[in-house]
Structure 1
Amino acid sequence: MLKFAFKNKKGNTNMPTANIITGLTALLFAGSLQAAETETALIYAGTWLSVVPPLLAIGVALLFRQVIPALFVGLMFGVWLIGDLAWQALWTSPLVTVQKYTVEALADTDHASVIIFSLLIGGLVGISSRNGGMVGVVNLIVNWANTVKRASLATIAMGLSIFFDDYANSLVVGNTMRPVTDKMKISREKLAYLVDSTAAPIASIAFITTWVGFEVGLIDEALRSINHQGDGAYIMFLQSIPYSFYPLFAIALTFYIALTGRDFGPMLTAEQKARSGEINTTEGIGLADDDIQPIENKPHRAVNALIPFGVLIVVVMGGLYVTGLNPELDNQSLKDIIGASDAFKAMLWASIAATIVAVLMSVSQRILSLDDTIEAWYEGMKPMLQAIVILILAWSLAAITDQLETSDYISSLLQDDLSYYWLPVLTFLLAALTAFATGSSWGTMGILIPLIIPITWNVMSAQGVLDVEYLHIIHITIASVLAGAVWGDHCSPISDTTILSSMASGCDHIEHVRTQIPYALYAGGFAILIGIIPTSLGLSPWIALAIGLAAMFAGLRWLGTKV
């Protein structure tokens, strides 16, 4: 029997009401926690209710346009289901969610590596911004931009060169190129479009960015849930890149428009007005917080960004090779070595090495003091905190859906009624809708990747196509979540990167969205019709890319008008 006694202000211990309430609370929490931690058969595992936690997360995200509360609500309902919908489990579900599932997500060594890597990359971006390195890279390109075509191409090239972070990309490119494009009478709407279309698309598919740790961490969690013994999460991510049709087509479209000088839709009107001297302007925003703006009266040397990020890339590749090499095996191919590597360890080594190099270069040249460098490092980490919270909650929700056998239930519904080759395009559309409504590509990935990969795996297994010949379906599905999230994010007026792009470019936000959506739909349509559906049916992604790129160019020649 439990006995609790609390003294009141007078020292009296006769407080039966407090004793009862406290005792009941302790019993309820202990019972709920014990139920959550006990590996017993769950009443609602593999039933229709097991689908509710992720659907609830998606629904709340769509309704309130807030991903973190949505994930937490989904988690709490999942904990309640694990507690067999007992009322005491509902009472303590927030406590169990944090005490058990989020702590377990953090305790995983691979998860911890992803978090540290993401923070260090954010810090590296902060240092490279503060020491003027990124502005130096930009200045190398700007000096060449003395015509409309060159200014447009310079904007695109600059966006692609800052591939490692979409936030840094939007802020640096928009602010730097705005005076140049104004001089060339390029509309602010066009600048915002070029900035936005070379930010998230390149960051989502480049092999070492602030996105990669997030994406690989989610893929790894999904692969664990299906006990996948083949290629690791990083290799699966790399293999999915050729199927990321929307990001690739979106980037290609910016080049086509810049090279041909053709536009269509509202963008055509904006460009015609700009050429006549009527540029729609709003006040832009600075590069970032004061703590990571370049130091005034200090040289902006491109090497201060190029060398640290070069170190990052070299150490990642070297780390993948070292961790994947097995001295006991003869004639290991490079693919086998990379496939057996520890990507989390390699990315961790690389981010540490690159950060050390950036600090040493900033301090040794006396561009920054050590205190300024550390402060810039901290400031660079701040934008990553929200993503890390989303990632932790997504890992936790994945653990709950795995325990509730959610993917098994959905797979049982789909395996007889839906052919496996329709899964990628449906995934793409679902990801696009979720990202459009929430404005968060990362939140969309956090919700869908841990759910969609096991569903696809189980449906393929049930339909007898789970072998090497059909493994590309998994790759397309992974790519469809990532690409669909970017597509929806591009079209959404509440997307953070869309807002940053319009503000950094000094463009009216609604005008940016209105002029960009037709281009996003254009690239997205080709991605679905020529990319996702044909490759799901067996067409080579390289052939699909070639046909899609040619068709997009021909379509622009027919649809667009030269300004």
Structure 2
Amino acid sequence: MNDKMKLGLIAAFSIIALFVLSLWISSTPAGADNSVRFGILTLLPPLIAIALAFITKETILSLFIGVFVGEFMLSVNDINIVSTIVNAFLNMCVQIINCMADPWNAGIILQCLLIGGIIQLVTKMGGAKALADAFAKRADTPRKAQLFTWLLGLCVFFDDYANSLIVGPIMRPVMDKLHVSRQKLAFVVDATAAPVAGIAIISTWIGLEISLIAAGFKSVGVTNITGFGIFLQTIPYRFYNIFILIFIVISAMTLYEFGPMKKAEQEARARKDDEEIMVLEAPGFEEVKPVEGIKLSVWNAIIPIGTLIIGALIAFYWSGYTTILGGEDQALIAIMKSSPLSFNGIYTALSQSDASVALFQAALLASIVAIVMAVGERILTIEDAISEWIGGMKTITITGVILLLAWSLGAVIGEVGTADYLVGVLSSTIPAFIVPSLIFVLGALISFATGTSYGTMSILMPLAIPLAWAISSGDMSFTIVATSGVLTGAIFGDHCSPISDTTILSSMGTSCNHIDHVTTQMYYSIFVGIITIFIGYIPAGLGVPFYFSLPIGIVAMYVGLKLIGEKVDFEEVGETSS
């Protein structure tokens, strides 16, 4: 069968499928809620995008089609598919523009572009190579390199996006030299991004988390608590976050792997030092080399990246500080005026900050610092420095395209009612002790289907807290466990989803093929997710304290990895490379 015939069959099948879809939707009552009107069809946009991503390995095309299918469903008025297709295309264009115009989204894309420019400048100044060489002297085996990447991920705790784009490019040459696969690097980076930011008391996540928690408890009449206080109490029950971070250490120490990751690691071990690493759809910075003849210095990396990190923390505080003083909440204003630098003052300011603006400000400042250093050290002229900075942004452009389509798909999924449909189907009457596990699974499914942890938390938290409170007759401890299930389930599903923004950024930051990253990480996430349910949330629902579940879960991960995994011995590679 030639290509023209294949294309014709695909076009014919698509037209028939759209006609059947139009016929089905047009027969439903137009005035009904979309989750009721579309029913099981609400799952089509995310399922089509996810399935095509795995089948075709074309992330952009898959997301595009997913968005189009969702807009097509929303545009159906009758069985005239020609007018529906035209309206769906026009609405899709508007949706993408609206996502780009959203201040939060615009800030995220801009800070990603700026970080790309910083990384390129740091690379041209030799800072990245100097830092990688310094790390390689200490992380001289695959085991140490993975642990070092894990530790670096913990250090960039304040934001998962920044984590993915900082840690990945720094550690990639070290991992490549030691024959550790890009897939394993992407997993370590991804698994130390959202899981760390989600439980850090200073991060871009905490404002959303505590606001949702406070609103949820207020809805059941509990007003004598603070969202931050409940947030702190959920940390020991954030089983998936804790277990996935410890699993990285267990896997690195034992060198045991399973599933597609084992194959990726075996292929990396067999790779010759001068063999080119084939990376599809994963543009990176590996083709950028330092300027010839310059003296390598780690400070050419430490100062710009340090400026980014410290600047971000200061920008978070200042953003929240000015927001509070410009607002009308007299209690918060009093805190800022009386003790602005106390723990409570700093926490209050951070919880009110606009993370996307703060990160953009920090990235712009770090960009200026990097340009000034490159020119001041006579490594680059001002024209060349700006050119390299812009060149680094171009490397991240594809990330921006994917993020825009992922956000557009999330918006369309919200309009067709996917999350509401899943909640309605899965939240039937169940035994009380299953509720935390059900909430975790429900959060995972919504996050997997929508590709957003934030959106999942926003959708599920107002439902989960009242449900847990009612079933437990107002048991605070039980409700706290259920609350943690929302927060961790969202991250678990996000880790498994190919349309997740953090998963996409981890792929780009490590120059790993995106679908390869998803398929290798998914096995590990599901393994840890199963332990989270059976050793974490089910016992917690029965009242078992976390200090029993956590050590048992760690032992279970170690034993399970030993039973289903196989050691990929890199010791010889590490010795010859060091």
1:377 aligned residue? 389
1:392 aligned residue? 404
Q: Shift in Å at residue 153 of structure 1?
A: 0.8
Q: Compared with structure 1, are the counterparts of its residues 311 and 267 closer, same or farther at alpha carbon in structure 2 (3 Å cutoff)?
A: closer
Letter in 1 for 2:137: N
Q: Compared with structure 1, are the counterparts of its residues 389 and 259 closer, same or farther at alpha carbon in structure 2 (3 Å cutoff)?
A: closer
TM-score (norm 1): 0.66
Partners in 2 of 1:105 and 1:270 — Cα distance?
Answer: 36
**What are the superposed Cα offsets for residues 410-459 of structure 1, whole Å, 9 maximum, x if unpaired?**
5444443456423444246647976xxxxxxxxx624x753574145335
**What are the superposed Cα offsets for residues 199-239 of structure 1, whole Å, 9 maximum, x if unpaired?**
2212334549xxx999899999999x99x999999999999
1:347 aligned residue? 359
2:294 aligned residue? 298
2:249 aligned residue? 255
Q: What are the equivalent positions in structure 2 for 1:37-116 lying under 5 Å apart?
A: 43-50=31-38, 55-65=43-53, 66=59, 67-80=62-75, 88-99=83-94, 101-116=95-110
1:328 aligned residue? 334
Q: Compared with structure 1, are the counterparts of its residues 104 and 488 closer, same or farther at alpha carbon in structure 2 (3 Å cutoff)?
A: closer
1:195 aligned residue? 185
1:35 aligned residue? none
Of 151, 158, 161, the match for 2:152: 161
Q: Shift in Å at residue 321 of structure 1?
A: 2.5
Secondary structure, counterpart of 2:334 in structure 1? coil
**% same residue:** 24
Q: Which runs of 5+ in 1 are unaligned?
A: 1-40, 182-187, 435-443
2:376 aligned residue? 364
**What are the superposed Cα offsets for residues 463-517 of structure 1, whole Å, 9 maximum, x if unpaired?**
655998636645533432333333566xxxx99967997979xxxx99x999988
1:175 aligned residue? 173
CA contact (8 A) 1:245 1:483 kept: no
1:458 aligned residue? 463
Partners in 2 of 1:541 and 1:134 — Cα distance?
Answer: 41
2:485 aligned residue? 476
Partners in 2 of 1:107 and 1:266 — Cα distance?
Answer: 39
Partners in 1 of 2:120 and 2:181 — Cα distance?
Answer: 24
Letter in 1 for 2:393: M
2:159 aligned residue? none
CA contact (8 A) 1:79 1:96 kept: no
Partners in 2 of 1:174 and 1:390 — Cα distance?
Answer: 22
CA contact (8 A) 1:250 1:523 kept: yes
Q: Compared with structure 1, are the counterparts of its residues 192 and 206 closer, same or farther at alpha carbon in structure 2 (3 Å cutoff)?
A: same
Q: What are the equivalent positions in structure 2 for 1:214-225 lying under 5 Å apart?
A: none
Letter in 2 for 1:381: M
After alignment, is 247-256 or 72-81 more displaced?
Answer: 247-256
CA contact (8 A) 1:323 1:341 kept: yes
Partners in 2 of 1:235 and 1:124 — Cα distance?
Answer: 37
Of 412, 436, 460, the match for 1:421: 436
Partners in 2 of 1:247 and 1:141 — Cα distance?
Answer: 26
Q: Shift in Å at residue 386 of structure 1?
A: 3.8
Q: Shift in Å at residue 338 of structure 1?
A: 2.5
Partners in 2 of 1:160 and 1:72 — Cα distance?
Answer: 38
Q: Compared with structure 1, are the counterparts of its residues 241 and 128 closer, same or farther at alpha carbon in structure 2 (3 Å cutoff)?
A: farther
Secondary structure, counterpart of 1:312 in structure 2? helix
Q: Compared with structure 1, are the counterparts of its residues 430 and 89 closer, same or farther at alpha carbon in structure 2 (3 Å cutoff)?
A: same
Residue 143 of structure 2 is aligned to residue 152 of structure 1: yes
Letter in 2 for 1:366: R
Letter in 2 for 1:201: A
Q: Compared with structure 1, are the counterparts of its residues 370 and 517 closer, same or farther at alpha carbon in structure 2 (3 Å cutoff)?
A: same
Partners in 1 of 2:557 and 2:79 — Cα distance?
Answer: 53
Q: Compared with structure 1, are the counterparts of its residues 283 and 237 closer, same or farther at alpha carbon in structure 2 (3 Å cutoff)?
A: farther
Partners in 2 of 1:292 and 1:232 — Cα distance?
Answer: 49
Q: What are the equivalent positions in structure 2 for 1:193-272 lying under 5 Å apart?
A: 194-207=184-197, 245-246=239-240, 248-259=242-253
Secondary structure, counterpart of 1:294 in structure 2? coil
Q: Compared with structure 1, are the counterparts of its residues 138 and 501 closer, same or farther at alpha carbon in structure 2 (3 Å cutoff)?
A: same
Q: Compared with structure 1, are the counterparts of its residues 356 and 424 closer, same or farther at alpha carbon in structure 2 (3 Å cutoff)?
A: farther
Higher CA-based Rg? 1
Of 532, 545, 553, the match for 1:548: 553
TM-score (norm 2): 0.65
CA contact (8 A) 2:439 2:464 kept: no
Q: Which runs of 5+ in 2 are unaligned?
A: 1-28, 54-58, 157-161, 322-331, 570-578
CA contact (8 A) 2:207 2:353 kept: no
